[in-house]
Amino acid sequence: MAHIIDGKKISAEIRAEIAADVAKMKEGGKTPGLAVIIVGENPASKVYVRNKGKGCEEVGMYSEIIAMAEETTEAELLAKIAELNERCDIHGILVQLPLPKHINERAVIEAISPEKDVDAFAPVNIGEMMLGTAAFLPCTPAGIMELLKRSGISAEGKECVVIGRSNIVGKPIAQLLLTANGTVTICHSRTKNLAEVTRRADILVVAIGKADFVTGDMVKEGAVVIDVGMNRRADGKLTGDVDYATVEPKASAITPVPGGVGPMTITMLLRNTLTAAEKYGK
Ligand code: GUN
C-alpha cells in the first residue's frame, strides 16, 4: 500500500504558517497584497482567479481582482500593469493565462516588475531558478518540492523522471529536482521506449495532460509517483495523468487527484506574495 501524499493537509499546514507570518508583518504596519488580472470570460480561469482571491483572504492578505473585457488591447493591459508596478500596497502581480489571442503573452509577462512576478514566469526569474538564486519559484513545481520535503522524500542521488516539458511544470520541476541533487531525465511526446525510461524512476513526475496515461506496468516497485494531471472525464469526474488503480499498488508514495498537487499551487503563490512583501515591499 502506497503512502498517500495528502496535498490538502500539507497545504493547510503551510497556509497556517503563512497566516502567522502575515499577522506578524501586519503588526509592523505592512500587509502583503496580490493583484490578479483576468482578461475575458474563460470560465475555468474565472474559477482559478476566484480561488486565488479566497486564498489571500484565508491568510489575511490584501487582494485585488481586476477583470478586464475580452476586447482589452495589449496597450491597455500593459498600462494597467505599469500602474500596479508602481503601487506600494501591491507586492505580487499575476496575469491569468491564457490571454485572448490578440495579446502577446510574452510581452505581458515581461512587463511585470520581476520583483512582483509571483508566478515566476519572467525570463529573469527563470534564469535565477537555473542558477539556484531565485526569490520566487514557479508555483506548481515549488508545490511538488514541498510535498516531497514534507513527506520525508529526498531527491538526492535518486533517478528522477519527468514526463512533460512545459515551461510551467515539466522544465522547472526537472530543474528543481536537479538542484536537489537528483539524476533527472525529461521525457516527452517524441521519447522512444517511454516505459523503459519511466521504469527506472525512483521519483516519477507526470505532467502531460493525458488522462490515466501512466499505468502500473510503467512504474517500478516502490517508486514515488507525483501526478500533476487535471483531466475531466466524460462522466464529469476529475482524474490525473496517472492510472491510480494500477499504479498505487506498486508505488511507495503517490499523490491523488484531486487533493495532491492541485491544492499546493495557490499555497505557493501566497508564499511568493509574502516573500515579495518581505524582500521588496515598502
Ligand atoms: N493559467 C493556468 N495556470 C496558471 C498559473 O499558474 N498562472 C497563471 N498566471 N495563469 C495560469
Q: Tens-of-pLDDT digits for all 282 residues of the chain? A: 899 999 999 999 999 999 999 999 999 999 999 999 999 999 999 999 999 999 999 999 999 999 999 999 999 999 999 999 999 999 999 999 999 999 999 999 999 999 999 999 999 999 999 999 999 999 999 999 999 999 999 999 999 999 999 999 999 999 999 999 999 999 999 999 999 999 999 999 999 999 999 999 999 999 999 999 999 988 989 999 999 999 999 999 999 999 999 999 999 999 999 999 999 997
The CATH number of residue 194's host domain is 3.40.50.720
CA-nearest residue, atom 9 of ligand 1: 96
Q: What pLDDT shows up at residue 100?
A: 98
Residue appearing with cell numbers 506578524 = 24
Sign of CA dihedral 102, 105, 106, 111: positive
Q: What pLDDT shows up at residue 145?
A: 98
- What is the total count of domains within the chain? 2
- Residue 24 sits at φ, ψ, to 5 deg, of -65, -45
Residue 120 lies in a domain: no
CA-nearest residue, atom 4 of ligand 1: 97
Distance CA 248, CA 252 (A): 8
Residue appearing with cell numbers 520535503 = 149
Q: What pLDDT shows up at residue 102?
A: 98
Atom of ligand 1 lying closest to residue 168 CA? 6
Q: What pLDDT shows up at residue 263?
A: 96
Contact yes or no for 208/198 (Cβ under 8 A) = no
Q: What pLDDT shows up at residue 282?
A: 78
- With a Cβ cut-off of 6 Å, ligand 1 is lined by 94-97, 119, 139
pTM over 0.75: yes
Q: For residue 192, which amino acid is it?
A: K
Claim to verify: residue 195 and residue 84 sit in the same structural domain: no
Residue 153 lies in a domain: yes
Spacing, Cα 96 to ligand 1 middle (Å): 5
Claim to verify: residue 176 and residue 99 sit in the same structural domain: no
| 237 contact partners, CB below 8 Å, separation of at least 6 | none
Positions marked active-site = 52, 96, 119
Cis status of the peptide bond prior to 172, with omega within 30 of 0: no
Best residue for ligand 1 mutational test, from 38, 94, 267 (most atoms within 8 Å of Cβ): 94
Residue 100 lies in a domain: yes
Q: How far is CA 277 from CA 41, 75, 123, 273, in A?
A: 30, 27, 21, 6
Q: Residue 75: count other Cβ atoms within 10 Å of its Cβ.
A: 9
Claim to verify: residue 105 and residue 143 sit in the same structural domain: no
Claim to verify: residue 190 and residue 81 sit in the same structural domain: no
3-class SS of residue 242: strand
Atom of ligand 1 lying closest to residue 45 CA? 1
Residue 255 lies in a domain: yes
- Residue 241 sits at φ, ψ, to 5 deg, of -90, -5
Residue 218 lies in a domain: yes
Q: What pLDDT shows up at residue 234?
A: 87
Residue 93 lies in a domain: yes
Distance CA 228, CA 241 (A): 7
Distance CA 120, CA 113 (A): 11
Best residue for ligand 1 mutational test, from 34, 47, 112, 119 (most atoms within 8 Å of Cβ): 119
Task: Note down the domain range covering 240.
Answer: 139-262
Residue 249 lies in a domain: yes
Q: What pLDDT shows up at residue 233?
A: 87
Q: What pLDDT shows up at residue 104?
A: 98
Claim to verify: residue 171 and residue 96 sit in the same structural domain: no
